[in-house]
Amino acid sequence: MKKIRIVQVSVTIVVLVFVAYYMVQYFQKSKQVNATFSGGFGHSATSNMSKRSTYGSDPTEVALDGILINLKSGQYRYMKADMTFKMKDQADKDLLEKNMKKVRDLILRYSSSLDSSQLSREPEREAYKKELKKLIYQTLGFDVQNIYFRNFVLAQ
């Protein structure tokens, strides 16, 4: 009887340790994803996450993670994307990284004025990326060679 009781207590302790560990992990992640919403120009929404990932091995790529946009109209209301910008050289990459807040703001303002039908199919997404490249060059002077979506989600 005492052996069974000791085993039960031991298993309970192990389970509680695992639960506590995963709860701490969950709450740390939820603190990092501290989204703020603004009702300003284009009714855009964005995340406060300013981290830039290091996906890929190309030294001329800059990642923009966790951009969340409240779309103007259409079947879908939100777009969430993780993007990578391919730059011409290291100098352009460094310049883009220093000005990532401006790039993010430009993407939010432009994208929040779109209807979700302009993003729902592959040809429209390619046109969207072309327009973003053109807009970034015209507004900020950064020559983005290509834009890649690592994640792209439209949601209601």
Q: What are 79-121's pLDDT values in tens digits?
A: 898 999 999 888 889 998 999 999 999 999 998 888 888 888 8
Q: Model pTM greater than 0.75?
A: no
Cα 90 to Cα 18: distance, rounded to the nearest angstrom: 44
Classify 41-155 by CATH class: alpha beta
**pLDDT, greater one: 144 or 37:** 144
Kindly list the domain boundaries of the chain, sorted by start residue: 2-32, 41-155
Buried b (16+ CB within 10 A) or exposed e, 27-48: eeeeeeeeeeeeeeebebbbbe
The answer to whether 137 touches 92, Cβ cutoff 8 Å, is: no
Residue 27: pLDDT band with limits 50, 70, 90: low
Computed on alpha carbons and rounded to an integer, the radius of gyration of the chain in Å comes to: 21
CA nearest to 87, candidates 101, 72, 98: 98
Helices and strands counted in the chain (H then E): 4, 5
> Could you tell me if 144 and 131 are in contact, meaning their C-beta atoms sit under 8 angstroms apart?
no
Sheet of 61-70: strand order equals 61-70, 78-87, 144-155
